[in-house]
Every structure is written in structure tokens, then in C-alpha cells.
A and B are shown apart, each in its own frame.
Chain A
Amino acid sequence: MKLRLILLVVCIALLGALSVSAQDRTPIYVYTDSDTNISDFWTNTIIPAFEAEFPQYEVILTIVRGVGGGNADIANRALAAMTTGDDPQVDFFETMNTDAQQDWVDAELFLEVTEEMVPNLANVIPATNRLPQEMPYRGSQVLLAYNSDNVAAEDVPTTYAGLLEWIKNNPGQFVYNRPDKGGSGAAMVTRAIFEVTGQDPSKFVPGESDEALIAEFSKAWELLGSVHDSIYEGGAYPAGNTPVLELLANGSVSMITAWSDQGLQAYNLGVLPETTRFAQLQDLPFTGGYAFSAIPSNSTNQEGALALANFLLSAEMQQAIVETIGGFPSVSWEMLPAELQSQYTSVITDTVPTWPGGAYGAAMVEGWYNNVATNIDPSS
């Protein structure tokens, strides 16, 4: 009898202690649908560092990669919560294109962030082209990755025209993924669009959709269609960045387009062979992109979310982004140690063209599927 009583008391005390410690720290609900390298980086680097500096917060990361529409679904859930006045149960989106759906824009689903709210935003470079609701915190640029055993350094294409020529001369040795399934393949397609529209990415303004410009995409389909038969397996396009890296890693192809961060990380881990080299086009580089974080305006822990946003833009975290995930900083390189800068000179370019997505993105993806990788003859 006595023993039971003691046990009961211990149990109650334990429960009480647990609930107190849980109440101590306000949760920040973070959602990500990015690739494993990014979610790992959050779990192993960002969250421990943030929680050490801000012990009052507990970051709860939920990975929705490959689950339905990923973060977009969670944003829609937040939108639904907004209309009913419920808790959206999300405070921070690791990446979000805040204008991807008109409903979000109309309902002002995302918080406009200013330098007063997030002081470190002042250091963010203009090339990131952010919307007022977006906080770019890491960048990456698409590069050419090749196997130096099969491709001599002097044969590596330096222009887009040269790349297409190389693909034709080396049938089956190049591959890029479907443009909607991963940014490395999308960069191959958007670069073709830049090529036929005068190599001037500034023509593409986010949020706009210029019909005349979209009409010119057809010339890009001719360019990409001309190398379709020379792509891996006579025109087989994998469904993601990782399967493309895999094809380079196992020697199925000799050259691919790859995200700088994924390529460099795979190389550092030994997933890509030691003979792998990276290069960038010299006439106009492939697109880069920044991952934009966003905070839903109905978040119940906005204060924590803003602290997290500011923390991500600190020099310490920006350096970790370069060193740990092979990403590009969203703040000026000058904020980072000099030796780190010199290490990356081979792939750093002054220009980081960005692709606006939105209506242009939809036209790009649909045009590619209907004209380049199609089983239907477009002329019929």
C-alpha cells in the first residue's frame, strides 16, 4: 500500500516536472520541405545554436518534404486557420514563395518584415530580389558538374551555345532533371529561355507576366529540343536533383547541371567521385536562387519567429551555410572570413540571375513538357 502511494506521488511529481519544463520554452513551429541536406542542417546546426542563444524558445521542426504539396499545403492550412481564426500551428516557413498563390497575397497571409523587426536584414544583398514578406537566408547557384576523367578541362563548355554543342557531340553523356522536379534541371531550361530573350534576366520581373516575352519561349524549346535525343538514354529526364547527381556519381553520364550546395556537399561526403569538377558558364551563369523564409501573419509566436529569422542572417549562421551545406550567403561575402571567400572563387560569380517563377514558371514548365520532353509531335 505504502509503495503504491509512493509510486503515485513520484508519477505525479514527474508529470508536473515535465509539464513545467515544456511550458518554460515557447515553441516555434518551423516547417520545411527542402532536401535532406537542408533539414539535416537545421536539425544539427541551426536549431542547437539558436536554442543555446535563446533558451526561452523551443524550435519544433516538421519535415514535409515529398508530402503532397509540402510547405504550400501548410500555408493553405494557415490560410484556412486564418479564415476561422484558429491557431495555424506554424510560425516559420523555412522556404516559401509568398506570392505563389493569389489567395495568400489577397489574404495577406504572410507578414511583411522590415529592418526594424529583423535588424540583420540590412546586410542582405540586393541581388536576392526579395519581396517584403520574404527573408532570403541561404543561396545556391546551379553549376555544371563533370567527371574530369571523361572531360578534359579545356573541353568544358564556357557558354550555353558551347554546352549544347558539347551535348550533341557526346550523346547520352549529359542529363538534367524535369524543370518542375528540381532547380538544377529548371536552370538548364531557364538558361535556354534567357539565351533566346537576349541574355537579359532583368526582363523577367517577379509578379509580372509579359505575354510577348512568354511567346518567345518557343525558341527555347527549339534549342532544348535540338539536344533532346542526345540526353541520357535518348531523352530520359529524371524526376529530381538527387537522381541526376546519382547518374553522375555512378558514371552513367559525364556532365550534369547541379546545385552548388548539393554538388559540393556530395563531393565532400565522397558521394561524387574525387574526379568531379565544377564549372560555371561565363557568358551568363545559370540561375541561382535564394531560399526565402516567411512568417505567417497569424503566427502565435511571431516574436520567436522574428528572433529566429534574425539569427539566420547573423554572420555566424551565414558562415555555417557556406561551410556546412555548400550554400551561398544571402549577405555580402565581405561579411565572411577572407579565407572562406578565396576558397570559393572558382564558382562565385558577380551575377546571380534569378528566375521569377509565378506565371513565367508555369509557362516554362508546361512549355517544356509539351514541346521538349513530349511523346506527341508538337507540330501535328
Chain B
Amino acid sequence: MTAAAPSQSSPSWRKGIIAYLMVAPPLLLMILLIFIPALQSTARTLTIDVNGAPGFSISRYTAFFQDPISVSNLFFTFQVTLITLAAIFILCFPLAIYLRFANGKLAGAVQVLALFPLFVPGIILAYALIRFLGTRGTLDNVLSIIGFTGYRTPYLKPDAIIFGLVWESIPFTVLVLTAGLRQISDSLIESARDVGANSWQIFWRIILPQIARPVLIVFSLNFLGIFGSYTIPYLLGPAAPQMMGVFMQQTFGQYRRPDDAETQAVITFIICAFIGFLYVRTVANQRKREDSE
């Protein structure tokens, strides 16, 4: 912004005002619909009624962390999120590298396939996976045709949640990673090869450092989506333990304990806000670097 050269037709102050006007609506929406309610919620969870006057207390949080079911659900959410993230990277990294360096019809087909989950709503996916992974489902039938009979379905177990979430996250991850990889110019890799670097060295010394940022973006945005996911764990996961999204809804709607649901929400929010902070810092650093270049 500061580097913008003032032009004669529109003075810089007017440009500044236009810029602020343009960011104002989303900013206002964020403040009114997200920040203020979040702050209010947080404040409420820290308040108790002391003889009619509000007093400060962390009793709702101690209650959460003393309840083994709540703690196991939080732990389970972390576990599913991290395993899913690991699986996403293991699957999508080779895929993105392939799509970056391969050309031709096959690469095009792979790209279409990798993006396909983007167009399938979560609830449809959940029911499709029930049919595919369930007992006497497609996978079970195919396995028994080739003589494998000991199939145990992951449906209604944690594995099914991971399966569904990984499938859902592939398109976004592949898109961002491929875009990151495209920023590495061919000439850079060719010159490295000219001076005798092997594939591994190229990957380790050139590609990896260059795409640290896309990786962090993929990590944080996927983390947020998975940590707060609802449909897939609701339909495919076990009755216990539960992921926080399902647990919150149940505490609020079924157990009728809005206070506890609010506490769960704030805890989830704080964890997600921390990851969100990582994301924002990454993007901001990128801006700064681009500005200074």
C-alpha cells in the first residue's frame, strides 16, 4: 500500500478510502457475526452467578476437563484430525508432484479424478461410503469374489471417518499443492540437474523449501475443516467416542445443556483460532515478502 505511487488522476488518499470502503463490508460481517458472538460466548463461559451478580469462574472448563467423556471426545477429535492430515499429505503429495511434472491425457484424467470429490456433497459421500464400505457392501463383495472373506467393515468405526474426510479433502489439497509447485520454474530444476543434482536432492533442496508455505496453508485450512467436521463423523463414525462437532450438537440439542455445549464450542474455537492464526501469519508473511520484492 505504502509503495503505491500517487497518480495525478486519483490522489492516494482517495485510493485509500476506496480500499477501506471495499474491505468494510466483509470486515463488519466478521466483527458482527463472528468476533462479537465469539467474545460474548467466551465471556459467558467464564461467568457464574454469584447471588445475582456475575462473577468470574473457570468452573465450566474444569467440569469439561474433569469429565472423561468430554476429554476423550476432544482427544479423539485431535487424533482423527492428525491421522487424516497425515493421510492427506501421504496421498496428495505424490499426486501433486505428478500433476506438476506430467503432461498428456493421463495427467488430465488424473486431475479430473482428483478434483471430482469437490462436486460431491458430504451427505451423498457418506451414504455412498456406507454402501461401499459396509458389510456386504461393494468392497466386501469384491473381496469375497477374489477369495478374501475376513473383511471387517470400518463403517461406524473411527476408520470410516478418516476415510471419508481424506476423500473430501483431496481436491483442495491437490489444487493448492499443485499451484505451489507450479511457482517453481522449470529452469530452476533444469539448472540444478545440469550441475548434477539427483531427483532426491532436487526434491529436498529445491522443491520442499519452495512449497513450505502452500504446505502450511493446506495444513491449517484442512485442520480447521476436519476439526469442526460434522456430517461425515455423524453418519460414518461410532456412537462413542465422538468428534467435537457431533458432540456439541448432541449436548445442545439432545442433552439440552446449552451451557456445556457453549463451553465445548469455545474450547473448539480456541484450538481452531490458534491454527487460524498460523494461517494468517503465513499469508501475511507472504504479502510482506512480495511487497519487499
Query: Is B95's beta carbon under 8 Å from chain A?
Result: no
For A223, what are the chain B residues with a Cβ–Cβ distance below 8 Å? none
For A236, what are the chain B residues with a Cβ–Cβ distance below 8 Å? 155-157, 238-239
For A233, what are the chain B residues with a Cβ–Cβ distance below 8 Å? 135, 152-153, 155-157
Query: Is A23's beta carbon under 8 Å from chain B?
Result: no
Query: Is B93's beta carbon under 8 Å from chain A?
Result: no
With CB as the reference atom, state the residue of chain B lying closest to A367. Answer: B255
Instruction: Tell me the number of A-to-B contacts counted with CB atoms below 8 Å.
Output: 69
For B123, what are the chain A residues with a Cβ–Cβ distance below 8 Å? 66
For B69, what are the chain A residues with a Cβ–Cβ distance below 8 Å? 369-370, 374, 376
Which of B135, B254, B256 is close to A250, meaning CB atoms less than 8 Å apart?
B135
For A380, what are the chain B residues with a Cβ–Cβ distance below 8 Å? 68
Interface-located stretch among A195-203, A237-245, A289-297 = A237-245
Query: Is A366's beta carbon under 8 Å from chain B?
Result: yes
Which of B136, B156, B235, B254 is close to A362, meaning CB atoms less than 8 Å apart?
B254
For B235, what are the chain A residues with a Cβ–Cβ distance below 8 Å? 239-240, 243
Interface flags, B219-255, vs A, CB<8A=1, else 0: 0000000000000001100111100000000100111
**Cβ of B240 and Cβ of A375 under 8 Å apart?**
yes
**Cβ of B234 and Cβ of A375 under 8 Å apart?**
no
**Cβ of A246 and Cβ of B239 under 8 Å apart?**
no
**Cβ of A251 and Cβ of B136 under 8 Å apart?**
yes
With CB as the reference atom, state the residue of chain B lying closest to A370. Answer: B69
Asked whether A239 and B135 contact (CB < 8 A) given A233-B156, A365-B255, the answer is: no
Query: Is B134's beta carbon under 8 Å from chain A?
Result: yes
Docked pose: A243 CA to B155 CA in angstroms: 11
**Cβ of A362 and Cβ of B255 under 8 Å apart?**
yes
Which of A237, A247, A250 is close to B239, meaning CB atoms less than 8 Å apart?
A237
For A376, what are the chain B residues with a Cβ–Cβ distance below 8 Å? 68-69, 72, 240
**Cβ of A243 and Cβ of B68 under 8 Å apart?**
no
Docked pose: A233 CA to B238 CA in angstroms: 11
Query: Is B6's beta carbon under 8 Å from chain A?
Result: no
Asked whether A246 and B156 contact (CB < 8 A) given A180-B254, A366-B254, A376-B68, the answer is: no
With CB as the reference atom, state the residue of chain A lying closest to B130. Answer: A243
Docked pose: A247 CA to B137 CA in angstroms: 10
Which of A237, A251, A362, A369 is close to B256, meaning CB atoms less than 8 Å apart?
A362
Query: Is A82's beta carbon under 8 Å from chain B?
Result: no
With CB as the reference atom, state the residue of chain A lying closest to B242. Answer: A369
Docked pose: A178 CA to B235 CA in angstroms: 11
**Cβ of A178 and Cβ of B134 under 8 Å apart?**
no
Docked pose: A362 CA to B261 CA in angstroms: 14
For A362, what are the chain B residues with a Cβ–Cβ distance below 8 Å? 254-256
Prevailing SS type, chain A contact patch: loop
With CB as the reference atom, state the residue of chain A lying closest to B233. Answer: A239
With CB as the reference atom, state the residue of chain A lying closest to B153. Answer: A233
- Give the Cβ gap from A150 to chain B, nearest Cβ, in Å: 13
Docked pose: A349 CA to B60 CA in angstroms: 47
Interface residues of A in 218-243 (CB under 8 A from B): 232-233, 236-240, 243
Query: Is A69's beta carbon under 8 Å from chain B?
Result: yes
**Cβ of B156 and Cβ of A237 under 8 Å apart?**
yes
**Cβ of A180 and Cβ of B156 under 8 Å apart?**
no
With CB as the reference atom, state the residue of chain B lying closest to A374. Answer: B240
Interface flags, A282-316, vs B, CB<8A=1, else 0: 00000000000000000000000000000000000
**Cβ of B135 and Cβ of A247 under 8 Å apart?**
yes
With CB as the reference atom, state the residue of chain A lying closest to B126. Answer: A239
Which of B134, B234, B253 is close to A252, meaning CB atoms less than 8 Å apart?
B134
For B155, what are the chain A residues with a Cβ–Cβ distance below 8 Å? 233, 236
For A243, what are the chain B residues with a Cβ–Cβ distance below 8 Å? 130, 235
Docked pose: A115 CA to B199 CA in angstroms: 83
- Give the Cβ gap from A76 to chain B, nearest Cβ, in Å: 12
Asked whether A250 and B134 contact (CB < 8 A) given A233-B153, A236-B155, the answer is: yes
Interface flags, A192-210, vs B, CB<8A=1, else 0: 0000000000000000000
Docked pose: A279 CA to B253 CA in angstroms: 32
For B250, what are the chain A residues with a Cβ–Cβ distance below 8 Å? 180, 365, 369
Docked pose: A380 CA to B68 CA in angstroms: 9
Docked pose: A325 CA to B120 CA in angstroms: 30
With CB as the reference atom, state the residue of chain B lying closest to A372. Answer: B239
State the B residues within 8 Å of A (CB).
68-69, 72, 123, 130, 134-137, 152-153, 155-157, 234-235, 238-241, 250, 253-256
State the A residues within 8 Å of B (CB).
66, 69, 72, 178, 180, 232-233, 236-240, 243, 246-247, 250-252, 359, 361-362, 365-366, 369-370, 373-376, 380
Of the A-B pairs whose beta carbons lie under 8 Å apart in the complex, a sample of 29, sorted by A's number, is: A66-B123, A72-B253, A232-B135, A233-B155, A233-B156, A236-B156, A236-B238, A237-B239, A239-B234, A243-B235, A247-B134, A250-B136, A252-B134, A362-B256, A365-B255, A366-B255, A369-B69, A369-B239, A369-B240, A369-B250, A370-B69, A373-B238, A373-B239, A373-B240, A374-B69, A375-B72, A376-B68, A376-B240, A380-B68
Q: With A233-B152, A374-B240, A376-B68 given, can you name 10 additional A-B contacts, CB distance below 8 Å?
A: A69-B253, A233-B156, A243-B235, A247-B135, A250-B137, A251-B136, A362-B255, A373-B239, A373-B240, A380-B68
